[in-house]
Chain A
Amino acid sequence: MVKGREGERIRLYTRGTVLGYKRSKSNQYPNTSLVQIEGVNTKEEVAWYAGKKMAYIYKAKVKKNGSHYRCIWGKVTRPHGNTGIVRAKFKSNLPPKSMGARVRVFMYPSNI
């Protein structure tokens, strides 16, 4: 990665937390994850985030493509319930250790 201004931290994503998989009381469906986006508290607010890309970033011991960091891409699919939780689908299902972990919700594909 080429660094323009070094040390300038730009955050162009919203923070989110993985809550778990889509589930009923005793069955879970790991192909869809539930994500809590910071600052989003109602179903209507989620409409802005529909379709936005998300990334679950994690570290691994082995270097791939020159980096210890790896990423699973996904996107916001629809709201879940009334209080701003969101359903998300990822390229490959999120691992169970991601529950409670950080997810980045980007502002693209943008519609503004």
Chain B
Amino acid sequence: MAPKDRKPHVSRNPDLIRGVGKYSRSKMYHKRGLWAIKAKNGGAFPKHEKKAADAAPAVKPPKFYPADDIKKPLVNKRKARPTKLRASITPGTVLIILAGRFKGKRVVFLKQLTSGLLLVTGPFKINGVPLRRVNQSYVIATSTKVDVSGVNVEKFDDKYFGKKVEKKTKKGEGEFFEAEKEEKNTLPQDKKDDQKSVDAALIASIECVPDLKSYLGARFSLKAGMKPHELVF
């Protein structure tokens, strides 16, 4: 029987109170069956010979002893996780963006990225919001849901949205500035294609629901007499 197969053994001596067992030493001896093991082994408890320990390699006394004791840093077992997603936010939920360039826009939630940010799309054709990351705290989840089963969002992650590393060209300054400006203005074609492919499936499912398209195209605003703490989204 290999020790690894055994489950950790529960104590054979239940506690009457903490610190006081039910059975005496002699009773426990009997319970553990040590008498049976001894009988099997001819009157003495079986012993294993100690393995000869390898002689530790000779260590020279160190030349330098530090004057003060160095403190060991505390163990940190914290794991980085994405922010906990609110129960009201599920793939396909319509969200209202509260701040930033697209404030007030109603937008479709696709998935939560590993950084914790939410991946969101307008869709672009409907309200001009591209595939974008948004923080959960700056968003209100409505109860309206869109069917996102036809959309494949596997390929999008935080790296996709990261800033592109600019090549360092140390050529003449005139050339440098012109080249830089040209690169910055245009969106690479593959990003535009990604937007189209994601939106195609979405728009199809949006058009099935009456008024949803104009709903997503309209922006949210507080009007006179609206109290946010009383609104149901």
Hey, which bits of chain A sit against chain B, CB under 8 A?
A: 2, 4, 8-14, 38-40, 45, 48-49, 106-112
Contact = CB atoms under 8 A, between A and B. Distances in A.
Q: Is the interface of A mostly helix, strand, loop or mixed?
A: loop
18 contacts: A2-B101, A4-B101, A4-B128, A10-B221, A12-B103, A12-B220, A12-B221, A12-B222, A14-B222, A14-B227, A38-B227, A39-B225, A39-B227, A45-B229, A48-B228, A106-B99, A107-B98, A109-B138
Contacts of B230: 45
B22 to A, nearest CB: 53
Given A40-B227, A112-B88, A106 B140 contact: no
A112 B233 CA distance: 8
Q: Indicate the member of B98, B220, B228 with the most A CB atoms within 10 Å.
A: B228
B225 to A, nearest CB: 8
Nearest to A13: B222
A2 B101 CA distance: 7
Given A4-B128, A110-B137, A112-B88, A12 B229 contact: no
A35 to B, nearest CB: 15
B116 interface: no
Contacts of B140: 107, 110, 112
B228 A107 contact: yes
B104 interface: yes
Contacts of B103: 10, 12
Contacts of B86: 111-112
Contacts of B101: 2, 4
Nearest to B222: A11
A110 B139 contact: yes
A66 B215 CA distance: 35
A61 to B, nearest CB: 28
Interface string B116-153: 00000000000010000000011111000000000000
Contact of A109 (B137, B221, B223): B137
A11 B98 contact: no
B98 A12 contact: yes
A110 B229 CA distance: 11
B195 to A, nearest CB: 17
B219 to A, nearest CB: 6
A108 B88 contact: no
B98 A106 contact: yes
A65 B98 CA distance: 23
Interface string B208-233: 00000000000111110101111001
A4 B97 CA distance: 15
Contacts of A48: 228-229
A46 B114 CA distance: 34
A8 B105 CA distance: 12
Given A39-B227, A48-B229, A106-B98, A112 B141 contact: yes
